[in-house]
Amino acid sequence: MKLSKKIFLLVAIIFILILAWFAYDVSNKTTFPGSKSKNEVRKDSVNTEFNKQIKSQETDTSIVR
């Protein structure tokens, strides 16, 4: 095998490995558009806790009146 062919194969393999790494990295950072993201789930749980605190405060103040 000629030296130029060996260099081409080496560069092609490195290029394919870089593309595979990039695809893996992007796939970890994206989600299916129809699914809830982790941030939305956190927001929902925070809103639920916040609403519970507001309701408990409303009941506490209604007793004082």
Give residue 46's pLDDT.
Answer: 60
Tokens of 29: 């950072």
CA dihedral 54→56→61→63, nearest 10 degrees, is 160
Q: What tens digit of pLDDT does each residue of 18-45 get?
A: 999 999 999 888 877 777 655 555 556 6
Q: Which of 52, 56, 32, 33 is nearest to 44 (CA)?
A: 52
Give residue 30's pLDDT.
Answer: 82
pTM, full prediction = 0.48
8-state DSSP, 35: S
Average pLDDT over all residues of the chain: 78
Q: Where are the domains of the chain?
A: 1-30, 35-65
